[in-house]
């Protein structure tokens, strides 16, 4: 095989169950957005250039061919129906579970690899709520994720086999297993692999046009390059998770019967198409089942701990009485964990207890962040800070994209446009004003072009042998923004120290960062294979015109390129102005109104945005496996796995290959960077935002949702994305506010900024050549719930919640993702479409919960189970408070988080119908790492009194200044504060509201309030 190949999978390589899979053909004539266009065009041109170079370089140097030896193993039947399954024997019960052997029950089928004849199954009841079922090859040749990458909890020290909430059940021949609840042994299993429970086969393609969804059978298949396991689930059940994805069905995944879902696990650098694999891989789902007879529900979770590429299918075959989830992995083992819940929040907490709880975020991270690809120099960057303050728009953190770099190289700053000493001066100005600075770090390290090219991160990396290699041991050389590049190998023993030194040197050169932005870490490469091997390294120019440059002006909207795979033709389609803006009618301004007339002519019949779709060392030490084109072609959006990524035969330490570890690259970079920040900025909480993620990434980083679009549909998609990452235990997450790709308009940005004032990560960032966002940013609410993220870091409880997380027995909420809850008590109902001044939303609780308006404190009158229409003029977002809550707030938001935290507190209480409320608050210094002294306040309200108590050693300097109590049904005759009558109170009968001022209470001491 040559150094690189533009050959996609052949028709033969895509057969499945005896039916041809033509999934690689289903993306022809796709439309690519500006970001996709740049990368695809760059990739195409580089491949052509590299082909020509390779012809000359390879002839005299054939021994350098990056080639996997041709397979001499058995041919592949590609027919799952012929697979015999396995039989269980040699069963041994243990104090914590069982172990057994599995042997092939008949002749090998070798469908997409070589059948493994001898397997081991190990079942461990690890906790009361977690069951571990691991099926692996007894010879231990398949790849398993090392504990150095994701450490697992220690083995249980007590037996849960008789008390666990969930049970493992099995049949010996053919082997199958199913998981049930101990309390409900006769109900539908949580997970059920029995053939008798699954639909009858063969089944024609369930998803029209995708022959891979033809189902030939459901045996357990365990081959060196293909693993398959299917489970029956209740028809049209509620499944959430499996990502990363922008799902056309929203937060709740489409399980059929119309179409269904194919979630591909292969991290990919792409500008956010719908229903395709994106930046990260998360093979975990939460299932929520509702029983109509009892009107109650229960949730459970299923997690496959595997770095393998693969497809996870959610399907309901026609006329089937059940739906199914099917795993099709191209390497690794079947290492499952089951979580009993039974509530959605408990499932998420139990998952966090396994993979690790989210990192502690610094308090300043919850403020407003501003960035742009295209700040041409430091003066323009500084100007944004000045103008934001002049407009009194709070700005917490200023960012720089790759404009900061010299020659687009990591760990540099341009000596002319961003001189290091001047950047240091600017950052210290920010710090003096309680503000912070974050630069970007791309995944690829530029290769030294000649002997006079002095670039220490590369030369030191070569010396320390920290870069990924070709199979023959030479450097793997891809291509990214700075030209030909190499990539860190996180498995090498010297990489951590090399990475730390690079950051420390960068900081000492003037880039005194407060946190780090990790981009392109899928990892992404613009060419297929080691295209830089033997290439002319001097030419580092980008072979296309960047957005905003002459010849590629962005007029607005989302520029895209029409691309035909038939003739590889490319054609620019210039973008319109902001979505729904008609420049022919209203001229070139792009404003929300012209002469008082709304300019947004939104076409509801327009094409939806999905039209842009377009322990062992595993395969590294296994013989007769195809590293570059595995026989089963997963539904990678780019087709070949190495497209816009590293080649799958690129080699890491100990012979580990990219095919096995591709999905781990971003996680390992995050962990390494987290450790760097602990050294370079000691005793402070590391702040990292990363694009690619994997299970346990939340221990090290937050996440932004990638290169999204300035479109109303993506405003809504972002809510589902944030809810998805609560399941993944990466709660500090957000999208690029107002959209990254394409010009926004005032209305869209206004609504987006309103919404994201309530989201964890709040950053406005856009592409080169577009409007400056600071000119249209509006006033931002700084309402935040620091306590929720402390609880997340301590217990794994999600800070942002789907409505059914808190109200699990209300079926009308199961697919709601246009509203969300902050914690349990704050309901947000944003506007997600243009040209409207009202919005509809549910008020959960079946009429038993009192919801009060955040601003007016008035009670909302709604019909249980039906949406309520609310007024929502431009500039207003609907927020409501749940009864029974007590919220500690700051009296007045100030310009930065630090200034706000120095101000006094207020307490907002919303009583339920019984006059009861409860709440708590976590307070510390907001920055120390590991977290130091803290104080937990508890607010208990009942019998016309408030009791405030606390535990912990942190001294809270700020006083409690105001108390507002909603739901006081009659004017009090007297109000006491700590046993003394106070006259500093008012009563508003319209809202049943009691307001106390001048409280001046020390929160380090008990506080008691009573009204009579």
Which residues are known catalytic residues? 519, 522, 707
What length does the chain have? 1012
Measured N-to-C along each axis, helices 495-508 and 665-680 cross at an angle, to the nearest 10 degrees, of 50
As a whole number of angstroms, the distance between CA 213 and CA 209 comes to: 9
- CA within 13 Å, CB half, 630: 31
CA pseudo-torsion sign 351, 733, 890, 996: negative
As a whole number of angstroms, the distance between CA 543 and CA 48 comes to: 12
Cα dihedral 512→515→516→517 (10° resolution): -130
* Residue 338 host element (H or E): strand 334-339
User: Which stretches of 181-279 are DSSP H helices?
Assistant: none
- Parallel/antiparallel/unpaired status of strands 30-33 and 19-20: unpaired
Q: What is the DSSP letter of 760?
A: S
Is the Cβ–Cβ distance between 348 and 799 less than 8 Å? no
* Residue 483 host element (H or E): strand 483-486
Neighbour tally for 451: CB within 10 Å: 6
As a whole number of angstroms, the distance between CA 862 and CA 877 comes to: 18
Residue 872 tokens, joined: 């929502």
As a whole number of angstroms, the distance between CA 964 and CA 116 comes to: 67
Asked, as a colleague might, if the bond just before 118 is cis with ω within 30 of 0, I would say: no
As a whole number of angstroms, the distance between CA 34 and CA 741 comes to: 7
Residue among 525, 411, 420 nearest 457 (CA): 411
Residue among 50, 557, 123 nearest 335 (CA): 123
Which strands, in side-by-side order, build the sheet including 282-291? Answer: 86-93, 97-104, 118-125, 130-137, 334-339, 296-304, 282-291, 238-243
Q: What is the DSSP letter of 669?
A: H
Residue with tokens 């377009």: 614
As a whole number of angstroms, the distance between CA 236 and CA 234 comes to: 6
Is the Cβ–Cβ distance between 815 and 842 less than 8 Å? no
Instruction: Give residues with Cβ within 8 angstroms of 410, minimum separation 6.
Output: 441, 442, 444, 445, 446, 457, 502
Is the Cβ–Cβ distance between 442 and 457 less than 8 Å? no
Is the Cβ–Cβ distance between 609 and 709 less than 8 Å? yes
CA pseudo-torsion sign 990, 991, 992, 998: negative
Three-class DSSP category at 129: coil
As a whole number of angstroms, the distance between CA 730 and CA 725 comes to: 5
No. of H helices and E strands in the chain?
14, 53
Q: What is the DSSP letter of 926?
A: S
Residue with tokens 């009659």: 970
Residue among 250, 282, 288 nearest 264 (CA): 282
Phi, psi of 887 (to 5 degrees): -120, 125
- Parallel/antiparallel/unpaired status of strands 296-304 and 282-291: antiparallel
Give strand pairing partners of 175.
172
Q: What is the DSSP letter of 886?
A: E
CA pseudo-torsion sign 77, 80, 81, 82: positive
């Amino acid at each position: 095989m040559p150094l690189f190949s533009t050959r996609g999978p052949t028709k033969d390589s895509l057969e499945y169950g005896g039916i041809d899979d033509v999934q690689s053909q289903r993306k022809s004539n796709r439309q690519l957005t500006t970001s996709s266009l740049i990368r695809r065009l760059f990739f195409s041109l580089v491949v052509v250039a590299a082909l020509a170079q390779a012809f000359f370089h390879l002839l005299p140097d054939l021994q350098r061919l990056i080639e996997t030896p041709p397979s001499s193993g058995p041919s592949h039947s590609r027919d799952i129906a012929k697979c015999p399954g396995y039989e269980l024997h040699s069963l041994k019960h243990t104090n914590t579970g069982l172990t057994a052997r599995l042997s092939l029950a008949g002749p090998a089928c070798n469908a997409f690899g070589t059948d493994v004849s001898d397997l081991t199954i190990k079942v461990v009841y690890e906790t009361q709520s977690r069951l571990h079922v691991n099926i692996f090859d007894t010879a231990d040749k398949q790849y398993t994720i090392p504990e150095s990458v994701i450490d697992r909890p220690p083995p249980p020290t007590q037996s849960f086999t008789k008390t666990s909430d969930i049970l493992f059940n099995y049949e010996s021949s053919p082997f199958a297993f199913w998981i049930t609840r101990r309390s409900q042994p006769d109900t539908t299993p949580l997970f059920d692999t029995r053939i008798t429970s699954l639909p009858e086969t063969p089944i024609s393609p369930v998803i029209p046009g995708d022959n891979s969804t033809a189902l030939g059978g459901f045996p357990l298949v365990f081959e060196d390059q293909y693993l398959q396991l299917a489970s029956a689930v209740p028809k049209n059940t509620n499944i959430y998770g499996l990502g990363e994805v922008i799902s056309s069905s929203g937060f709740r995944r489409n399980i059929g019967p119309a179409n269904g879902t194919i979630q591909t696990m292969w991290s990919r650098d792409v500008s956010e198409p719908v229903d395709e694999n994106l930046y990260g891989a998360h093979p975990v789902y939460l299932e929520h089942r509702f029983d109509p007879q009892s009107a109650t529900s229960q949730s459970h979770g299923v997690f496959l701990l595997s770095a393998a590429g693969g497809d996870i299918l959610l399907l309901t075959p026609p006329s089937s009485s059940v739906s199914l989830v099917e795993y099709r992995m191209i390497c690794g083992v079947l290492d499952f964990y089951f979580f009993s819940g039974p509530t959605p929040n408990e499932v998420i907490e139990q998952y966090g207890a396994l993979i690790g709880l989210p990192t502690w975020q610094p308090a300043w991270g919850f403020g407003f962040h501003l960035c742009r690809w295209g700040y041409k120099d430091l003066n323009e960057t500084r100007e944004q800070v000045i103008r934001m303050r002049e407009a009194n728009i709070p700005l917490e953190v200023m960012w720089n994209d790759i404009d900061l770099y010299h020659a687009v190289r990591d760990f540099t700053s341009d000596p002319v446009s961003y001189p290091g000493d001047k950047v240091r001066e600017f950052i210290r100005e920010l710090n003096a004003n309680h503000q912070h600075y974050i630069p970007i770090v791309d995944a690829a390290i530029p290769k030294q072009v000649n002997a006079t090219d002095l670039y220490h991160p590369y030369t030191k990396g070569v010396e320390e042998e920290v870069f990924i290699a070709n199979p023959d041991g030479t450097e793997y050389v891809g291509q990214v923004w700075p030209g030909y590049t190499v990539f860190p190998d996180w498995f090498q023993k010297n990489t951590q120290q090399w990475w730390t030194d690079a950051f420390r040197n960068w900081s000492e050169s003037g880039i005194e960062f407060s946190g780090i932005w990790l981009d392109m870490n899928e990892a992404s490469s613009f060419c297929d294979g080691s295209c830089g091997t033997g290439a002319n390294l001097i030419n580092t120019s980008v072979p296309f015109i960047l957005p905003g440059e002459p010849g590629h002006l962005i007029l607005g909207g989302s520029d895209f390129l029409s691309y035909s795979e038939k003739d590889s033709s490319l054609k620019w389609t210039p973008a319109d102005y902001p979505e729904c803006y008609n420049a022919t009618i209203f001229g070139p301004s792009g404003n929300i109104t012209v002469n008082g007339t709304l300019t947004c002519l939104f076409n509801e019949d327009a094409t939806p945005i999905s039209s842009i779709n377009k322990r062992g060392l595993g395969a590294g030490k296994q013989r007769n496996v195809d590293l570059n084109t595995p026989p089963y072609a997963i539904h990678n959006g780019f087709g070949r796995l190495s497209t816009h990524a590293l080649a799958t035969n690129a080699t890491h330490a100990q012979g580990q290959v990219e095919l096995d570890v591709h999905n781990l690259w971003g996680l390992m970079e995050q962990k390494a960077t987290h450790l760097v920040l602990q050294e370079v900025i000691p005793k402070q909480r590391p702040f990292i935002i990363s694009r690619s993620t994997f299970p346990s990434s939340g221990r090290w980083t937050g996440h932004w949702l990638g290169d999204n679009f300035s479109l109303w549909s993506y405003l809504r998609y972002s809510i589902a994305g944030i809810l998805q990452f609560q399941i993944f235990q990466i709660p500090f997450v957000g999208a690029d506010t107002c959209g990254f790709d394409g010009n926004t308009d005032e209305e869209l940005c206004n609504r987006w900024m309103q919404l994201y004032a309530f989201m964890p990560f709040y950053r406005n960032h856009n592409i080169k050549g577009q409007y400056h966002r600071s000119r249209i940013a509006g006033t931002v609410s700084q309402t935040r719930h620091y306590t929720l993220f402390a609880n997340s870091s301590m217990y794994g409880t999600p800070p942002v919640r789907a409505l059914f997380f808190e109200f699990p027995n209300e079926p009308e909420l199961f697919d709601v993702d246009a509203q969300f809850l902050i914690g349990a008590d704050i309901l947000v109902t944003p506007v997600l479409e243009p040209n409207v001044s009202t919005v509809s939303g549910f008020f959960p609780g079946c009429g038993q919960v009192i919801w009060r308006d955040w601003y007016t404190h008035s009670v909302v009158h709604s019909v249980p189970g039906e949406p309520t229409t609310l007024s929502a003029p431009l500039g207003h977002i609907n927020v409501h408070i749940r009864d029974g809550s007590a919220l500690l707030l700051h009296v007045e938001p100030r310009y930065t988080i630090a200034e706000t935290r120095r101000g006094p507190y207020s307490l907002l209480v919303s009583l339920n119908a019984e006059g009861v409320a409860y709440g708590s608050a976590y307070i510390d210094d907001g920055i120390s790492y590991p977290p130091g002294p803290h104080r937990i306040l508890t607010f208990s309200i009942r019998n016309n009194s408030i009791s405030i108590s606390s535990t912990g050693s942190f001294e809270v300097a700020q006083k409690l200044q105001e108390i507002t109590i909603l739901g006081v049904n009659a004017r009090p005759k007297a109000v006491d504060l700590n046993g003394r009558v106070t006259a500093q109170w008012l009563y508003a009968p319209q809202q049943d509201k009691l307001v106390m001022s001048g409280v001046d209470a020390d929160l380090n001491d008990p506080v008691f309030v009573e009204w009579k």
